[in-house]
């Protein structure tokens, strides 16, 4: 199969509308061709008039390891063009950042999860382009989590840098498709184009969204090291709002969770007793780990790893958001007074608990903390949201 960047480079007719126009490029380390050449270099070599570049969270170079670590602007040493940070002093492009270009090529590998901030960055550049009369092209890439939909829809008033709009946690769209949804929802008057992929088949295994065996995985952010993380991420990302480690500081970040003071086998047993059907599609394994940085650094943690690389993996049955929600619920039942929730200005949101910012409402946390709430109660809240999104997104599907 071919990604948007590869098609743009191989087809002069696709590049023809860029002739005579100043072009900017929004990218990160995974913005590469099939041959692993970075788009900034190959676009310049193809004669595209690059006059600026942009980096999202973690930077154009992907060098910022942790969340909420800002990247500075700089001048690219090879191409001599300004590289503007959209995760530095600003999150939205300023008027000055919009001035040097006419067309922005957005070439970001997404993970298919609402909280992954490249989605919000796409929204912000579309809004700025509409304001300034600029064009935006998305060079489309796969959603490695595929088409399944899962999670509560973000509620009104809970928009943030990790919540660009009312969609569930696992949205099942590509970045190009999301651009069409943003334009429709926000009623934007903007020149928009998707350079589509060729041969993307998200319903086919073994990749179910990612062309496993055909394309090399390059980390789109430092703690997104493989497809298995991408599959689990719509659930494990909630750990950023919890005191439990999400495995940062280990070699399998966001595929596991744990802490020094939990009994992983007891947690797994409680999960199975509460909602065994929520655990379908993957395998859970108790494990031990000692983070070298981040939460519980240098402490021996007992935890659970979510395995989706097993041959028995069932893509349609796997529900990572429910698995992680169930883990929180199991810990709360086993240890009613356990301090699960962190409290700090997550992604600069003041006065809101991070777990609520992540989920786009307090509903998940309230379900976990309510001793009388059962798995069926969370399903009753979530299934209508998922069904409504399945219907809403239908007209924006390209593939």
Q: Is the pLDDT of residue 63 over 90?
A: no
Rounded Cα–Cα distance for residues 239 and 355 (Å): 8
Domain ranges of the chain: 4-221+391-396, 227-375
Please compute the mean of the pLDDT values over residues 180-193 and round it to a whole number: 98
Kindly write down the DSSP assignment for every residue of 196-263, as one continuous string: --BS--TTSTTTTTS-TTTS----SSTT--SHHHHHHHHHHGGGGGBSSB-STTSSSTTSEEEETT--
Q: What is the mean pLDDT of the chain?
A: 96
CB 296 within 8 A of CB 259: yes
- Of all residues in the chain, what percent carry a pLDDT higher than 90? 94
- 287 forms beta bridges with 303
Please compute the mean of the pLDDT values over residues 237-245 and round it to a whole number: 98
**Order of strands, sheet of 283-289, starting from the edge strand that comes earlier in the sequence:** 256-259, 301-307, 283-289
Q: For residue 68, what pLDDT band results from cuts at 50, 70 and 90?
A: low
Report the pLDDT value the prediction gives residue 201, as an integer from 0 to 100: 96
**pLDDT (tens digit per residue) in 116-138:** 999 999 999 999 999 999 999 99
Please compute the mean of the pLDDT values over residues 267-277 and round it to a whole number: 98
Q: Is the pLDDT of residue 10 over 90?
A: yes
**pLDDT (tens digit per residue) in 73-95:** 899 999 999 999 999 899 999 99
Rounded Cα–Cα distance for residues 260 and 300 (Å): 6
Report the pLDDT value the prediction gives residue 33, as an integer from 0 to 100: 98
Please compute the mean of the pLDDT values over residues 223-251 and round it to a whole number: 97
Report the pLDDT value the prediction gives residue 380, as an integer from 0 to 100: 98
327: tokens are 């883990």
Report the pLDDT value the prediction gives residue 70, as an integer from 0 to 100: 74
**pLDDT (tens digit per residue) in 331-390:** 999 999 999 999 999 988 999 999 999 999 999 999 999 999 999 999 999 999 999 999
CATH architecture of 4-221+391-396: 3-Layer(aba) Sandwich (3.40)
Report the pLDDT value the prediction gives residue 357, as an integer from 0 to 100: 97
Q: Is the pLDDT of residue 64 over 70?
A: no
Name which of 197, 201, 178, 189 is nearest 139 in CA terms.
197
Report the pLDDT value the prediction gives residue 71, as an integer from 0 to 100: 79
**Residue scoring higher pLDDT (59 or 336):** 336
**pLDDT (tens digit per residue) in 286-334:** 999 999 999 999 999 999 999 999 888 999 999 999 999 999 999 999 9
Report the pLDDT value the prediction gives residue 59, as an integer from 0 to 100: 85
Is the pTM higher than 0.75? yes
Distances, alpha carbon 263 to alpha carbons 168, 277, 330, in Å = 31, 22, 11
Q: Is the pLDDT of residue 5 over 90?
A: yes
Q: For residue 38, what pLDDT band results from cuts at 50, 70 and 90?
A: very high
Burial zone of 191 (CB within 10 Å; 0-12 exposed, 13-18 middle, 19+ buried): middle
Report the pLDDT value the prediction gives residue 262, as an integer from 0 to 100: 96
Report the pLDDT value the prediction gives residue 354, as an integer from 0 to 100: 97
What is the distance of C-alpha 30 from the center of its chain?
13
Report the pLDDT value the prediction gives residue 110, as an integer from 0 to 100: 97
Cα separation of the two ends of the chain: 13
The DSSP output letter for 369 is H
Name which of 141, 63, 133, 69 is nearest 98 in CA terms.
133
Residues in the chain: 399
CB 306 within 8 A of CB 344: no
Number of H helices, E strands in the chain: 12, 10
- Of all residues in the chain, what percent carry a pLDDT higher than 70? 98
- 245 forms beta bridges with 258
- For 227-375, the fitting CATH number among 3.90.1150.10, 3.90.1150.140, 3.90.190.20, 1.10.645.10 is 3.90.1150.140
Rounded Cα–Cα distance for residues 332 and 335 (Å): 5
- Position of tokens 């500081």? 249
């Amino acid at each position: 199969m071919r990604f948007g960047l590869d098609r743009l480079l191989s087809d002069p007719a696709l590049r023809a509308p860029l002739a005579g126009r100043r072009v900017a490029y929004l990218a990160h380390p995974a913005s590469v061709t099939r041959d692993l050449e970075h788009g900034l270099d190959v676009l310049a070599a193809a004669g595209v008039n690059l006059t600026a570049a942009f980096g999202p969270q973690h930077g154009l170079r992907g060098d910022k390891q942790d969340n909420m670590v800002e990247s500075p602007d700089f001048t690219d040493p090879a191409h001599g063009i300004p590289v503007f940070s959209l995760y530095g002093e600003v999150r939205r492009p300023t008027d000055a950042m919009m001035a040097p270009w006419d067309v922005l090529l957005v070439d970001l590998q997404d993970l298919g999860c609402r909280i992954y901030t490249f989605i919000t960055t796409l929204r912000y550049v579309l809004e700025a382009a509409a304001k300034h009369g600029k064009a935006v092209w998305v060079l489309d890439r796969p959603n490695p989590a595929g088409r399944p939909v899962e999670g509560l829809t973000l509620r009104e008033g809970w928009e943030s840098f990790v919540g660009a709009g009312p969609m569930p946690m696992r949205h099942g769209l590509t970045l190009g498709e999301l651009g069409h949804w943003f334009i429709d929802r926000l009623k934007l008057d903007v020149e928009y184009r998707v350079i589509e992929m060729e041969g993307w088949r998200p319903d086919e295994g073994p990749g179910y969204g990612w062309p496993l065996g055909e394309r090399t995985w390059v980390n789109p952010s430092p703690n997104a090291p493989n497809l298995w993380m991408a599959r689990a991420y719509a659930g494990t990302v909630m750990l950023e709002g919890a005191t439990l480690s999400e495995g940062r500081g280990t070699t399998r970040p966001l595929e596991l969770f744990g802490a020094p003071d939990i009994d992983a086998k007891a947690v797994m047993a409680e999960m199975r007793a509460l909602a065994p059907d929520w655990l379908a599609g993957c395998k859970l394994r108790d494990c031990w780990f000692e983070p070298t940085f981040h939460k519980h650094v240098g402490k021996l943690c007992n935890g659970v790893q979510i395995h989706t690389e097993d041959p028995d993996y069932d893509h349609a049955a796997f529900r990572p958001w429910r698995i992680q929600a169930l883990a929180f619920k199991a810990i709360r039942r086993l240890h009613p007074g356990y301090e699960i929730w962190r409290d700090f200005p997550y992604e600069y949101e003041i006065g809101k608990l991070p777990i609520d910012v992540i989920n786009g409402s307090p509903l998940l946390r309230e379900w976990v903390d309510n001793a009388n709430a059962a798995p069926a109660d969370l399903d009753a809240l979530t299934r209508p949201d998922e069904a409504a999104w399945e219907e809403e997104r239908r007209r924006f599907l390209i593939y």
